[in-house]
Amino acid sequence: MPNYEPIRTESAACQDCYKCVRECPVKAIKVSDGKASVVPELCVLCGHCVEVCPAGAKKVRSDLERARALIAIKPTVAASLAPSFASEFPELDPARLIAALRSLGFALVSETAWGADSVSRSLAAALSGAKDSGPGRVILSSACPVVNDYILLYRPELAGFLSPLASPVAAHAAELKASLGPGAAVVFIGPCIGKKREADRSGGAVDAAVTFRELRAWFEQEGVDPYAAPLSGDERFYPDRAAKGSLYPVDGGMIAGVKKYAPGLAAHCVSYSGLGQIERALEGLEAYDGRSPIFLELLACEGGCVNGPEAQHRAGSVRKRLAVLDYARSSADRRDARAAPSAERAAAPVADDSPSDEAVTEALRSIGKTRPEHELNCSSCGYDSCRAFAAAMLSGKAERTMCVSYMRQLAQKKANALIKAMPSGVVLVDTDLRVVECNRPFARLLGPDVEAMFDAKPGLEGADLRRLVPFWQLFEAAFADDGLSERTDGAGRESGPRDVKFDGRVLSGSVFAVEPGLVVGGIFQDVTVPWIRRDRVVSQAKAVIRKNVATVQKIAYLLGENAAESETILQSIIESFDAGDHGPDGRDRQRRG
């Protein structure tokens, strides 16, 4: 059997959107270094994460090579075809599908519904015999491996209610091997990912499980068109058509099959599909004390197996249901099915590692949620509440960076710290030219009155820029995208350096889009300050060197020694201005001397 799990994450493709966390019904996803991976021991293989992943990072294990190998080495390989084939391949003559499967190398094709008939007959006998057995008699369906795992892992108090019968595919495989001999192999074909794990655990009863998606890929690889497969005249299911077991792929179909073997059944029979609905339906069931037995048909996929995770289309349930009903209409009501074998199922409850309230509170504090009103419960992290997210962090399944509000606060703090630490004047304004944030150097550039306002209200949030500076049109033009050039770093558009006269000084600055159409920023320096003037000369000299040295070198053979002399002169300018220590306070080594 394969030594890796049916669902894996392709880390390079994961976009840390946490959609799989949000959609997983049992939260069997662990996020590490921003990448989400399935935790095998917690996963019930519903396949929902595969369906919802927008990046296609969740991959289903392919068992095609194993199926091919079985066909190559085994004397007889039988295909156990799930009854949902009627909806997966609409309007396809079953004979042509059988012919197409034989062209892949299968010796025979049999309906998994043949095993479902055995399960229906045995369940009918169990329910009929249980009607006078007293209160509390409950039987939960055994057809869906996802539901079985969900109950064994997450609802262990109900494990005793699970039907002791094998699943339809296990019952079918046992019957096929009894008929074909121990050297035969059985490959299940259907829409279910959970069947892969069931095959892995079957001890060789089911040799491989191939999904409909894999089957379509197999047909394509071999150049087989099932709708045009040539017929020889002997295409039929082995050993014959199944009975109403072919109704199992739709919700309520199992109940209909059971009732064919037990007309007038007194037990209460109810069908639920979808893990969310099942979770709600099972609440309090362990305390049931009614006098009539209950049979619950539980299917993990909404609408039944026709909407399995590896079906071609997971929509159009009405059309799919009708396709199955139409196909089942021509089948017999029941057959002389043998009793279904039993299956051993033991509860393996997920360890309850719920942290204490104190630990959760401390974890919340680590992401800045120190008061109840900070707990937004926005679910952007994938968890229903902030406390559930904190518990996931403590269990190692989640990271602090998954919290959007925490990351936004962290980014804001870093941005504020950076703005405050910058020696240049920095200001951010909104579309109304109202100040969003500015630092003290910007207020200082505008004079003592504005700096006093800054002392009274740090950041000057809400102040009208038009009342503070006469060059506010630069910001207005930035919003209008006037004269701005595209940046190469993807950070928006930025104007080139601009000099503006203000209060007898020259301010040099750049205006740029922080959030295009929403926030514009500006950075300004007073270039009349001595150290700024010197730095400006230095930077301009360096720019001259960068722009001209390459050209000078190209024509060095014409200029001779003049090339080296030009570079030496420019370099001497830099060294003469850059020789001493200097800083924003205008003091340098020469002045201190």
Q: How far is Cα 416 from Cα 457, in angstroms, rounded to an integer?
A: 15
pLDDT at 53: 94
Residue 578: the pLDDT is 54
The rounded distance, in Å, linking the Cα atoms of 2 and 450 is: 72
CA angle at residue 146 from 140 to 151, to 5 degrees? 50
In order of 74, 126, 145, 161, 276, the CA distances from 150 in angstroms are 34, 23, 9, 13, 11
- CATH number of the domain at 422-526, out of 3.40.47.10, 3.30.450.20, 3.40.50.2300, 3.50.50.60? 3.30.450.20
CA distance 279 to 287: 15
Question: Cα(519)–Cα(415) distance, rounded to whole angstroms?
Answer: 14
In 10-128, beta strands by DSSP E: 29-32, 35-38, 58-60, 77-81, 108-111
78 vs 119, 248, 328, CA distance in Å?
20, 21, 22
Class of domain 353-420: mainly alpha
420 within 8 A of 440, measured Cβ to Cβ = yes
pLDDT tens readout for residues 2-38: 568 999 999 889 988 899 999 999 999 999 998 999 9
Q: Which of 135, 164, 137 is nearest to 148 (CA)?
A: 164
Output the pLDDT for position 112.
98
- C-alpha to C-alpha distance for 308 and 300, rounded to whole angstroms: 9
Distance CA 465, CA 443 (A): 11
The answer to whether the bond into 239 is cis (omega within 30° of 0) is yes
User: Which alpha helices (H) appear in 181-315, and where do they start and end?
Assistant: 194-201, 212-222, 253-261, 275-281
Other CB atoms within 10 A of residue 558 CB: 9
Tens of pLDDT, residue by residue over 371-417, are 888 888 898 899 999 999 999 999 999 999 899 888 877 777 777 78
Give yes or no for a contact between 187 and 207, defined as CB atoms under 8 angstroms apart.
Answer: yes
The one-letter amino acid at 199: A
Q: What is the pTM of this model?
A: 0.75
Q: Would you say 499 and 416 are in contact if contact means Cβ atoms under 8 Å apart?
A: no
Q: Provide the pLDDT for residue 556.
A: 47
Separation of alpha carbons 304 and 298, rounded Å: 9
Task: Quote the CA–CA distance of 403 and 81 in Å, as a whole number.
Answer: 45
Which pLDDT score, from 0 to 100, does residue 534 have?
Answer: 57
CA distance 453 to 441: 13
Per-residue tokens: 56: 């296609």
Which tokens belong to 198? 């069931």
CB 12 within 8 A of CB 66: no
Dihedral sign, Cα of residue 100, residue 101, residue 107, residue 109: negative
Query: Under 8 Å CB-to-CB from 432, ≥6 apart: which residues?
Result: none
Runs of H (alpha helix) within 143-252 = 145-154, 168-180, 194-201, 212-222
Which pLDDT score, from 0 to 100, does residue 581 have? 47
* Strands 519-526 and 425-430, bridge-based pairing: antiparallel
d(CA 540, CA 426): 23
Low-confidence ranges of the chain (pLDDT < 50): 1, 131-135, 482-492, 552, 555-563, 577, 580-593
3-state secondary structure 467-495: HHCCCCHHHHHHHCCCCCEECCCCCCEEC
CB atoms within 10 A of CB 120: 33
Distance between first and last Cα of the chain: 83
Q: Which two tokens stand for residue 434?
A: 């109202």
Query: What is the DSSP secondary-structure string of 444-467?
Result: HHT-HHHHHHHHHSTT-TT-BHHH
Q: What backbone torsions phi and psi does residue 120 show, to the nearest 5 degrees?
A: -60, -45
Give yes or no for a contact between 459 and 435, defined as CB atoms under 8 angstroms apart: yes
